[in-house]
């Protein structure tokens, strides 16, 4: 029996006028483009352009970015930097961070944005939301420790809204404990998602699913990063054949039963080549549910993350027409270096695992010493293990040292070992700490990892996270 979605629709406070929860047809005419648009008008000089294909398959629409989405202002007398976000209705939202003692000589927009983000990362206390902020209710499947939710939390703050995390699901209780410590109001469930969302696509709502919906109420935004090991190019054993790849479609099933206004699915770029065509099937089903859908790659380093990391996003909405590729232009920032992100964290020996570097073996300690003695960033083959020394390899960055004036390479859960990647500190004879890895993942200091039971758990949850800035730019384009 097919699912009757009309019976499931619940009343809701709309995120914008013309929200999905209004009783209107979800034709393209009722959706607003996901960027500043000047359709049919001349493009102003120097403006960037992007294109999006309408859900009906008609010719692409041209969008002119005639005004920046984000602007920054220095409020020196109050010790603040203000971020101003342009809303689609012509209004503006403002949010601030406190300015540290370092002088700020360059007041260009790029430098103000860089300083704003730097102060955000170093903030020990969570910034406040605007008073009387509207609620944005969020469900996070495959939640991990909550870094993707963190990015959406900051996007809500940027538009004078308040994120209400109504559900976080992960099969592992360890990262969920960290999620709970940062978002205590959320209902957290340590369970495989297929036990909670147990219906097939297009099927009638099951008793289990109905019970879940009754606990969480309205959902405005569904986010999730399904397990990606089966898709990752780093996985040579089960690449693109892993049975966990089918969990990706659970995002579409949850959208089917919960009826969120927006859906955001994040994964590694290789997910597009899954042999089961899970992305294509998920997108097709979201289209049948009335969503406008787009997918594409967002470059972390291009939007202000001090790390080279490319992620694939499927973005679906009943309120705007998504254009994922345009995010790389709308939120483009100059590259930021490793030392921009971690330069104030130099000791590597703190009170706990979070601020303490792992102790290398005697052999690896000698390799670190050689990197600094010879002023190298790549370890010569003759100093590597036999598997590298005696045969050709493509693992140049392994056993390497981070460059202080360039972005980091992709941070993975292996950052505790120099044999897993380029994880030696740029200026200190040691590996990076979990704290430094979190900074490179755009996780601010106020985000607590105190519930993590040890260094290995820290490495897994930090390395498996998506940089929060990526979730921020996606969320901001949906909400502004």
Domain-terminating residue out of 114, 148, 178: 114
Q: Are residues 109 and 161 in the same domain?
A: no
Strands (E), 245-317: 262-268, 292-299, 310-317
360 falls within a domain:
yes
Q: Are residues 292 and 375 in the same domain?
A: no
Residues serving a catalytic function are 228
Whole-number percent of the chain with pLDDT over 90: 75
- Average pLDDT estimate for 262-276: 91
Res. 426: pLDDT tops 60: yes
Q: Are residues 349 and 323 in the same domain?
A: no
30 falls within a domain:
no
Give the per-residue pLDDT at 458: 98
Answer with the residue of higher pLDDT: 48 or 228. Answer: 228
253 falls within a domain:
yes
Res. 394 pLDDT band, cuts 50 70 90: low
Work out whether strand 262-268 and strand 161-170 pair parallel, antiparallel, or are unpaired: unpaired
Whole-number percent of the chain with pLDDT over 70: 80
Task: List the Cα angle 452/456/458 in 5-degree steps.
Answer: 40
24 falls within a domain:
no
Backbone dihedral region for residue 348 (phi beyond 0: left; psi -120 to 50: alpha; all else: beta): left
Number of domains within the chain: 3
Residue range(s) defining the domain that contains residue 457: 345-463
Q: Are residues 409 and 277 in the same domain?
A: no
256 falls within a domain:
yes
Res. 120: pLDDT tops 70: yes
Least confident of 55-59, 285-289, 308-312, 473-477: 55-59
Q: Are residues 213 and 98 in the same domain?
A: no
* Integer Cα distance of 197 and 63 in angstroms: 38
Give the per-residue pLDDT at 64: 35
Q: Are residues 333 and 370 in the same domain?
A: no
Res. 130 pLDDT band, cuts 50 70 90: confident
- Average pLDDT estimate for 202-212: 98
Res. 276: pLDDT tops 50: yes
Q: Are residues 136 and 254 in the same domain?
A: yes
Q: What is the CATH number of the domain that holds 237?
A: 3.40.50.150
pLDDT tens readout for residues 88-105: 999 999 999 999 999 999
Res. 229: pLDDT tops 90: no
Q: Are residues 430 and 382 in the same domain?
A: yes
Least confident of 307-321, 384-398, 449-463: 384-398
Q: Are residues 316 and 383 in the same domain?
A: no
Task: List the Cα angle 346/374/341 in 5-degree steps.
Answer: 25
Least confident of 27-31, 141-145, 360-364, 459-463: 27-31
Q: Are residues 473 and 458 in the same domain?
A: no
Q: Are residues 363 and 406 in the same domain?
A: yes
26 falls within a domain:
no
- Count CB atoms within 10 A of the CB of residue 413: 17
Res. 153 pLDDT band, cuts 50 70 90: very high
Contact between residue 321 and residue 34 where contact means Cβ atoms under 8 Å apart: yes
- Count CB atoms within 10 A of the CB of residue 211: 10
Q: Are residues 473 and 452 in the same domain?
A: no
Q: What is the CATH number of the domain that holds 404?
A: 3.90.120.10
* Integer Cα distance of 70 and 48 in angstroms: 15
Res. 262 pLDDT band, cuts 50 70 90: very high
Res. 279: pLDDT tops 80: yes
60 falls within a domain:
no
8 falls within a domain:
no
Nearest to 112 by CA among 283, 304, 291: 304
């Amino acid at each position: 029996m097919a699912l009757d979605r009309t019976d499931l629709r619940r009343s809701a406070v709309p995120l914008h006028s013309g929200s999905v929860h209004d009783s209107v047809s979800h034709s393209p005419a009722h959706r607003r483009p996901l960027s500043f648009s000047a359709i049919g008008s001349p493009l102003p000089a120097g403006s960037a352009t992007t294109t999006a294909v309408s859900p009906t398959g008609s010719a692409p629409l041209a969008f002119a970015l005639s005004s920046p989405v984000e602007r920054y202002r220095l409020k020196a007398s109050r010790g603040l930097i203000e971020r101003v976000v342009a809303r689609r209705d012509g209004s503006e939202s403002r949010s601030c961070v406190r300015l540290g003692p370092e002088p700020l000589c360059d007041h260009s927009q790029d430098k103000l944005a860089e300083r704003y983000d730097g102060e955000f990362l170093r903030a020990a206390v969570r910034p406040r939301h605007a008073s009387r902020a509207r609620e944005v209710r969020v469900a996070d499947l495959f939640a991990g420790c909550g870094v993707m939710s963190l990015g959406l939390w900051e996007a809500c703050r940027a538009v004078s809204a308040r994120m209400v995390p109504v559900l976080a699901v992960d099969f592992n209780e360890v990262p969920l404990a960290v999620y709970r410590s940062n978002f205590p109001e959320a209902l957290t469930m340590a369970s495989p998602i297929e036990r909670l969302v147990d219906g097939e696509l297009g099927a009638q709502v099951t008793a289990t699913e109905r019970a879940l919906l009754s606990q969480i109420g309205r959902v405005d935004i569904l986010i999730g990063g399904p397990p990606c090991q089966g898709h990752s190019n780093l996985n040579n054993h089960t690449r693109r054949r892993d049975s966990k790849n089918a969990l990706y479609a659970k995002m579409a099933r949850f959208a089917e039963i919960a009826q969120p206004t927006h859906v955001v699915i994040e994964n590694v770029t290789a997910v597009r080549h899954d042999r089961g065509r899970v992305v294509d099937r998920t997108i097709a089903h979201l289209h049948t549910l009335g969503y406008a859908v787009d997918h594409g790659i967002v470059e972390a380093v291009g939007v202000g993350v001090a790390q080279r990391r490319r992620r694939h996003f499927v973005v679906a909405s009943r309120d705007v027409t998504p254009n994922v590729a345009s995010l790389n232009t709308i939120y483009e920032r100059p590259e930021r270096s490793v030392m921009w992100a971690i330069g104030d964290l130099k000791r590597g020996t703190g009170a706990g695992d979070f601020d303490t570097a792992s102790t290398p073996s005697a052999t690896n300690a000698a390799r670190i010493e050689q990197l600094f003695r010879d002023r190298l960033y790549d370890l010569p083959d003759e100093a590597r293990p036999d598997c590298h020394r005696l045969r050709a390899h493509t693992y140049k960055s392994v056993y390497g040292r981070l460059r202080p004036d360039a972005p980091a390479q992709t941070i993975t859960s292996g950052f505790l070992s120099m044999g897993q990647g380029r994880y030696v500190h740029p200026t200190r004879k040691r590996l990076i700490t979990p704290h430094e890895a979190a900074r490179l993942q755009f996780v601010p200091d106020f985000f607590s990892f105190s519930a993590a039971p040890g260094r290995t758990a820290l490495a897994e949850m930090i390395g498996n996270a998506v940089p929060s800035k990526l979730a921020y730019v996606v969320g901001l384009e949906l909400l502004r």
